[in-house]
Each structure stands twice: as structure tokens, then as C-alpha cells.
Structure 1
Amino acid sequence: MAIEIKNETEQSADLYLSGSIIDDDMGGIIDEWCDNSTGYQWPEKIRSQLEGLKGKALTIYINSDGGSVPAGVAMANMIARHDAPTTAIVDGWCCSIATQIFCAADRRQMPANAYLMIHKPAVYASGNADDLRRSADVLDTIQRGLEETYQKAALEGVTAEILHKLVNDETWLTAREAAEVFDVELLEASQMTACAGSAKFMQHIPECVRRMMEENLPQEQPTDEAAEESCPKAAMEMRQRAEIALALAKGAMI
């Protein structure tokens, strides 16, 4: 599973949150039909994990390229509501909507070789001119909400205008740079493997990150036949639903 609990004691636990963020309906299909859901995470999955961790201090390790805005915001709110102290640590990179989860924790930490990326939400839209204008208005509203969360985690003196420009420019931040904008503690560098599921939807990936991603790609990619064997009851439906969900997750909802 993409969300794992480790090192649980009576007082604390580590929560590992890695992979692309998707909505509950897509997550339900993966859970029901597929043997392996590694690489995806959704609100219901983290809700059920948090249910058993009430009262325990959490260290949340994040390595995610982002995904669905509604799902990511829901997960961030769950972390914010947790009834014990929370610390979020970027394991590799924390991109797009995953940064909302990072900012929702009480404390934020980053190794020197980790990355943060914030950018504008986007949408796949169709319809007449009025429909498209409404889509743009909705995206502006979503962006204002995201920026309010960033503002709460920002250092004193970092204005709403500064954050707005960083979001508009699709800004990549090293840990040191992130600590100049947000309330982030710097940690020693650690071995980093970034989650690269939706990298093709990012426009300004630093070259050092791109090289690292290429080095960590598996040598052999699974075939369509292998995918169908792992999900024999719903291979076609999964592909169709995945296309729709990913269009939303990487478009309207990142």
C-alpha cells in the first residue's frame, strides 16, 4: 500500500505517504480489482489509518508528485485535525497538492537534497466560451484557497503577493530555499528517490531531479498483458477509469 504505518508505539507512529494522490472512487477500484495499489493514495485510505492512530504523535514522510486537489485537500485537513502533534518530512520531493499535506502538519522538515514544488491548478475543460470562462474562475478560486494554506505555513514577512508569484511561476525549491519562504527545519541530506508518476505534467523540473528520476526508472516496464493479468475482472474498465481520473488528477486537480 502507498500509505504505511511503521514504528508504532503507544505514544507515536511513522506514517509513510508516497505516490500519486487520487480520489476515493479511483482508489476504491484499485483496492477492489488490483493486487497491487502501491504508488497511489486517497483520502479514505489515510482516514482509516489515522483512525487507529488517535492520540499518537505522527511523523509523516512524504514523497509525492501530487494529484487530485479535492483528495489532497481532504487529506491535509485530516492531518490538521489529528489530535496529537504532527511532523511532516519530505523524503524525496513534495509537489503540487502534496504540499498542502506538508503545510498542514504542525512542524515541517526537509533534508538538504529534497525538493518542494508549488504551481497553479489546471483543468481539462470543454464547452462554449461561457463554460471556459467559468472554468477559469473556478481555478482562480481554488488557487486562492491553496495560497491561504501556504500563507499559514509561511515565514513572517512573506507576503501573499510573494506566494502568489511563486505559485504562478511553478516554483521548485530546494530545502534551503523552502526554508527561506516557509517555516521549515533543515535536516541532513539523505538518499533520495523521487516519485515520478506525473512528472510529464510538470514543466520546469530541475535537471538534477530529472537525471535522478531517469536513473531510478525500472529497467523493464510492465506490459498491458501483465496489467490485465493482475486485474483480470476489470482491465478495460480500469484503463478507462484511470484515463478519466488521471485527466482530473493531473489537470483540474493538481
Structure 2
Amino acid sequence: MKDKMLKVVNKAEGAEIYITGDIVDDEWGGCLEAWGDPGIGYQWPNDIKKQLADIDDEAPLTIYINSDVGSVPAGVAIANMIARHKGPTTAVVDGWACSIATQIFFAADVRKIPSNAYLMIHKPATCCCGDAHDMEQAIKALDVIQEGLETTYNKVAAEGVTPEAIHQMVEETTWLTGKETSERFQVELLEATQTAACVGGAYKAFKKMPEGIKTVDNSKKPEAPKPQPVADLPQDKNINKVRAEIMLAIMEGELIDEEV
């Protein structure tokens, strides 16, 4: 499993899990494996379940998160796996925890975030096709899902942060720095750390992304190698004329069986 963006490290004092990338449903995980894709940049519940099975259920568990987007059912399933772990659990935001990744973050007993990391919560979304009734059903489903997500946020809200305030943050798509996260939720603030940017690409469609992190993927790309100069043709006009006549003859089919 070393090629996957989930890594389990067993230590004498406990285990560490690194969850990096987009969170997808199990069926997508199976498709990736069937296609021979190592699944870099994706997480799915069944794969994480297999990894957790190798961990002592009573041991302390630390989950490091750097994820930008994903499926609600997949993310909630992973969050429930973390919540069921019998030993103490700690979640740490390495770079950012956005969208459904926040549910995994808040599933741990203890939550920590560096001052230069980010958390983002927003309304759930879906794609729908069909008639007006289908559209109405999709809207109802999204409202129910949002209510469930907000229930998690309310359980870990800081003192004085009301359900109305949580709802408004979700409605507006809210980005929070580490410090702002610790002010609104029961989260421990850590000193700034150097972390790698998230490998996912869905964040490019995020709304209201702070200007300071829009350049997260703008690292310098290596310059394309300059084409090597083609050797100059001989300057003898007679040689060039002969070559031109040979090429013309080939194009007209007159020298098909001849060596040139």
C-alpha cells in the first residue's frame, strides 16, 4: 500500500495515519485498482478499513489530514471508523481540511491545527438530472445531508458559538485559518509548520478561497528543454538543388524503389 496516499505508521506508543488527497466512494477505489491505477491522491473507506485493521484497537491513534474534497458517504464512513477506535484518537491538520475532510477531523477525541493551516466548511453539492420532481428530491436530500454535517460541527463548537452561527458559516462557504478555527471550535492551536501542498485538484473550483492560498499550486514548473538546433544544411547550391529534386521525385512516386 505504499503507493497510496494513506500511510500507517505503527510505533511502540501508538500508530499514525496520513490521509492525503480526495475522498472517494469504495466503487471508485475498486475501479482505480482494476485499471492498475495506484490511487495516488485518493482515499476510500474500504482501503482505510484494511489499514486500520492492522492497528491495535486499544493503542493511541493520530490522524494527519491534508485533503480538499470528497464524497459525503465516504467521508462520513471514514469519520465513523475513527470514532469507533477504542484507543485515544488525535487528528492534526497538516495543510488543510476542507469540505467532507472536516468530518474526519472532528471525529477524533482531540483536534489540533497549526496557525498556518486551514479549514473550510460549505454546503453539500450534487449533480442531478431528471424532471422537476427529481430536482425537488435532490434538494430535500441535500438539506438533510447538510443538517447531519452541521450536527457534527455543533457538537465540537466552541463556547458561545451558536447553531445559527454554524449554519451561516456553512451557507456562506467559510474558510478559517488555524487561529480562527480554534476560536470557533474545540481545537488546539499549534505553531506554524512547513507542510506539503495537497495533491488533490478539486480545490481549484472552491468558492471564496482566501487570496493567500490560491497560489498553493503555483510552484515553479521546470522549463521545457529548448529544442536543439538542427545542423545547417550544406551551403553548396548544387547539393541543395539535387536534394530538392530527389524529394520532389519521391513525392511524385518516381523513385519508390530507388535508394536515395
**TM-score, normalisation: structure 2:** 0.81
Equivalence for 2:196: 193
- Structure 2 Cα separation of the partners of residues 217 and 79 of structure 1: 37
Give 1:212's aligned residue: 216
Tell me, in whole angstroms, the C-alpha distance in 2 between the residues paired with 1:4 and 1:216: 28
Distance across 2 between alignment mates of 1:12 and 1:184: 21
Paired with 1:219 and 1:142, the residues of 2 have a C-alpha distance of: 45
Instruction: Give the drift of 1:217.
Output: 7.1
For residues 6 and 38 of structure 2, the distance between their equivalents in structure 1, rounded to whole angstroms, comes to 13
Higher relative contact order, structure no. (Cα contacts within 8 Å, ≥ 6 residues apart) = 1
CA RMSD of aligned residues (A): 1.6
Counterpart of 1:251 in structure 2 is: none
CA distance in 1: counterparts of 2:202 and 2:90, whole angstroms: 25
Unaligned runs of 5+ in 1: 221-254
- Paired residues in the alignment total 219
Contact 1:61 1:89 in 2 (8 A): yes
- By percentage of residues, which structure has more helix? 1
Distance, in Å, in 1 between the alignment partners of 2:138 and 2:59 is 41
Structure 2 spans left out of the alignment, 5+ residues: 225-260
Structure number with greater Rg is 2
The equivalent of 2:58 in structure 1 is 55
1:71 matched to which residue of 2? 74
Cα distance in 2, alignment partners of residues 160 and 218 from structure 1: 48
State how far apart, in whole Å, the 2-side matches of 1:215 and 1:108 are.
30
CA shift, 1:199, in A, is 1.3
SS of the aligned residue for 1:180 comes to: helix
Query: Aligned to 1:212, what secondary structure does the other structure show?
Result: coil
Q: How does 1:109-120 map to 2 (within 5 A)?
A: 109-120=112-123
Specify whether residues 128 and 114 from structure 1 end up closer, same or farther in structure 2 by C-alpha distance, changes over 3 A only. same
Give the direction of change, closer, same or farther, for the CA distance of 1:216–1:36 in structure 2 (3 Å limit): farther
1:164 aligns with 2:162: no
Deviations 1:204-231 (A, max 9, x none): 11111111222277879xxxxxxxxxxx
- For 1:29 and 1:128, the matched residues in 2 are separated by 30
1:235-254 correspondence runs (5 A): none
**When the two structures are superposed, what TM-score results if normalisation uses the length of structure 1?**
0.82
Cα gap change, 1:136 to 1:219, in 2 (>3 Å) = farther
Alignment of 1:63-212 (within 5 A): 63-195=66-198, 196-212=200-216
* Mapping of residues 222-237 of structure 1, within 5 Å: none
Say whether the 8 Å CA contact 2:69–2:203 is kept in structure 1: no
